[in-house]
Structure 1
Amino acid sequence: MVRVLGGPSSVKLAESICSEMRIPDVKVEFKRFPDGEFYFRLLEDIEGEDLLVVQSLYPPQDQHIVELLYILETCRELGAKKLIVYAPYLAYSRQDERYLPGETVSAKILAKLIQDAGASELYTVDIHNRGVLSYYHIPAYDLTAAEEIIKYFVSKGVENPLILAPDGEEDAIRRAETAARAIGTDYDWLEKHRDRRTGKIVTVEKPLKVSGRDVVIIDDIISTGGTAANAARILKKQGAKRVYVGVTHALLAEGALERLKAAGVEEVVGTDSIPGSVSKITTAPIIARKLRER
């Protein structure tokens, strides 16, 4: 039987997983010293146990990464049989190669650190670039929150919406298709271009079957909100009734929500991969289903 060890970044999520799977947690103690250094202690014996270590790596990501490494190394040294990492938000997943000379391949370094600390398996949710997982020599899985996101909007009265991917990347289209299939509706996508040096996003408009319909934009990460806002403006211009945004990882940099509202978005909803004011959907059922399949 797997037991759940919740790290500092994901205490409530770990509790939700325990409740969802009806499995016990591991009692631990953690704190920060006045100088900012991290303290972690296991309060019970975990020798020979399989542990699900729940620690999402959202900002401050460097702090959360160090916490995860300390937890994994401690559990390994004290005899845990298997250490399954559940990091719904996996930091540094955008830099999987050197785009410019001299750059750090941060995704590769993070993979090495997590594995060297003792991880046996890794699960994440809607990773920005699936190619990152090729750096893991342990089993590494990308799950999706698309079905949970669209079910939330249906529960709030959204009927027969178009599901829209705000860009034409393969993973984005796959998420939209998953959400559409879950409720028996249709989906579409837009194309975007981003300047790697300036970061400016340009979304290419095309005809969409949205006149008089609700639309749910499904995205993996929203930081500035630029991509989703561009899509929302196109949708409203073409006569969409109401536009909603469902995002797995709601980073929401300063001004992002205001930008989306100004573009005509009715509501922005995220998951508990990143705790916050819009985090109304739990990812607990997602990891629970996967672990039950093992």
Structure 2
Amino acid sequence: MQQQPNNTEFFIEGNGVADMGLIATPGARELTALIDRHLVRWAKRKGMEKETFIIPSECPRFSSGDGKGLIKNTIRGDDLYIVVDVGNYSCKYTMFGHENCMSPDDHYQDLKRLIQAASGKAHRITVIMPLLYGSRQHRRAYRESLDCAYALQELQDMGVENIITFDAHDPRVSNAVPLMGMDNVMPTYQVLKTMFKSIPDFRPDPEDFMVISPDEGAMNRNMYYASVLGVNLGMFYKRRDYSRVVNGRNPIVAHEYLGESVEGRDVFIADDIISSGESMLDIGYELKKRGAKRIFCNATYAIFTGGLAEFDKAYADGIISGVYGSNLTYRTPELLSREWFHEVDVSKYIAYFVAAINHDMSVGSIIDPNAKIQALLKRYGVKE
């Protein structure tokens, strides 16, 4: 297996294909600052005097709601990395005296404005969009739009050469842009590392631990966790009522379990998004009925459009022992204050990508974290 290079090796000779520049859209300033911190530290280890790679920019709005993109420094010949969080609804703007929260559509428009502001002067443009725009509308049924596929084609037409995204709802959407670089990454190692740090007696052994997929759509991610940990895998499948449509979807009638007994075992459930969290809690209650010991939930995007009170009750009742979510999209202060929520920092992982792409190095070893996971398990005495 190809070994992942040491982080300082990314700055060999101090030069990449071009000078590196980070641009943060309004909703991604926090994440961009964390990425920049890692890059600056690595650069200084190689003798590069660099205070920041962030290029000042903004997307101001007129009182009518119209906007524009503005890049405040020269970017001619730069290798640009534009970071965007389409899920950050905490960003607001005033339109005709009314305050509006920015929607995914607004963030996507700001991304295009900043690409336009670069005016084709950059050496190369890479978009870092952890939460992929329109990704939940990934396939067509009847007369429906294909927002994600069309957005990817639009970015390609605007000159974007690479897109880095995390845990796409359906990675097959990359088929829409077969000639553009698109890396869909899973923060598996970061999740396990955070679990080992936050759970003192975390022991993922086959006798005491199981991975459970919440539905058939999440099987691949949970199968990977079970494989690298060497534990058994179970799954639920959602039995739906296809005679009715509620909020645009066929309602779930029941969660049916397939797999061996979970009695007396800790259980780990991974999914891409926790929205209301209703399905995750239903599974938690079902597993407790079957004798599960502790239940740990993971979602790359713990957006929690609702359901915090329900999770508070489940935690107080001993149903859920913890929820792990990344910092790849906006998390509300209310969520961050919860004792049961554990944040998974993925900024260093993104910094590896930025540095590797800037030097035209292979990212294969970064995408496949198996070697790092095995080293992590060995460090904590799980595997000899």
TM-score (norm 1): 0.88
Distance 2:139 2:225 in 1: 30
Aligned match of 2:236: 190
Given residue 347 of structure 2, which amino acid in structure 1 is its aligned partner? A
Is 1:163 paired with 2:211? yes
Aligned match of 1:290: 353
Is 1:220 paired with 2:280? no
Gaps of 5+ in 1: none
Distance 1:130 1:269 in 2: 22
Aligned match of 2:47: none
Equivalent residues of 2:26, 2:58 under 8 A apart: no
Equivalent residues of 1:165, 1:189 under 8 A apart: yes
User: How far 1:151 moved relative to its partner?
Assistant: 1.9
Equivalent residues of 1:90, 1:127 under 8 A apart: yes
Given residue 272 of structure 1, which amino acid in structure 2 is its aligned partner? N
Equivalent residues of 1:149, 1:247 under 8 A apart: no
Is 1:259 paired with 2:310? yes
Given residue 282 of structure 1, which amino acid in structure 2 is its aligned partner? D
Given residue 68 of structure 1, which amino acid in structure 2 is its aligned partner? L
Instruction: Give the direction of change, closer, same or farther, for the CA distance of 1:237–1:228 in structure 2 (3 Å limit).
Output: same
Given the alignment, which residue of 271, 278, 281 partners 1:229?
Answer: 281
Identify, as 1 or 2, the structure richer in strand.
1
Paired residues, number? 289
User: How far 1:213 moved relative to its partner?
Assistant: 2.5
Equivalent residues of 1:147, 1:182 under 8 A apart: no
TM-score (norm 2): 0.69
- CA RMSD, aligned part only? 2.3
The percentage of aligned residue pairs carrying the same residue is 24
Aligned match of 1:41: 70
Aligned match of 2:189: 147
Given residue 140 of structure 2, which amino acid in structure 1 is its aligned partner? R
Distance 2:225 2:39 in 1: 24
Aligned match of 1:281: 344
Given residue 290 of structure 1, which amino acid in structure 2 is its aligned partner? F
Distance 2:104 2:129 in 1: 11
Instruction: Give the direction of change, closer, same or farther, for the CA distance of 1:142–1:94 in structure 2 (3 Å limit).
Output: same
User: How far 1:128 moved relative to its partner?
Assistant: 0.6
1:59-70 equivalences in 2 (<5 Å): 60-70=103-113
Helix, strand or coil for the counterpart of 1:252?
coil
Moved more, 85-94 or 173-182: 173-182
Given residue 27 of structure 1, which amino acid in structure 2 is its aligned partner? P
Moved more, 227-236 or 9-18: 227-236
Distance 1:79 1:30 in 2: 19
Gaps of 5+ in 2: 1-15, 44-52, 90-102, 337-341, 363-384
Instruction: Give the direction of change, closer, same or farther, for the CA distance of 1:163–1:150 in structure 2 (3 Å limit).
Output: farther
User: How far 1:248 moved relative to its partner?
Assistant: 0.6
Given residue 85 of structure 2, which amino acid in structure 1 is its aligned partner? S
Instruction: Give the direction of change, closer, same or farther, for the CA distance of 1:168–1:261 in structure 2 (3 Å limit).
Output: farther
User: How far 1:243 moved relative to its partner?
Assistant: 1.3
Given residue 86 of structure 1, which amino acid in structure 2 is its aligned partner? I
Task: Give CA-to-partner distance per residue, 1:31-57, whole Å, 9 cap, x none.
Answer: 333333334321211111111111022
Distance 2:36 2:135 in 1: 27
Moved more, 149-158 or 184-193: 184-193
Given residue 258 of structure 1, which amino acid in structure 2 is its aligned partner? A
User: How far 1:85 moved relative to its partner?
Assistant: 0.5
Equivalent residues of 1:92, 1:107 under 8 A apart: yes
Pair member with larger Rg: 2
User: How far 1:87 moved relative to its partner?
Assistant: 0.3
Moved more, 190-199 or 223-232: 190-199
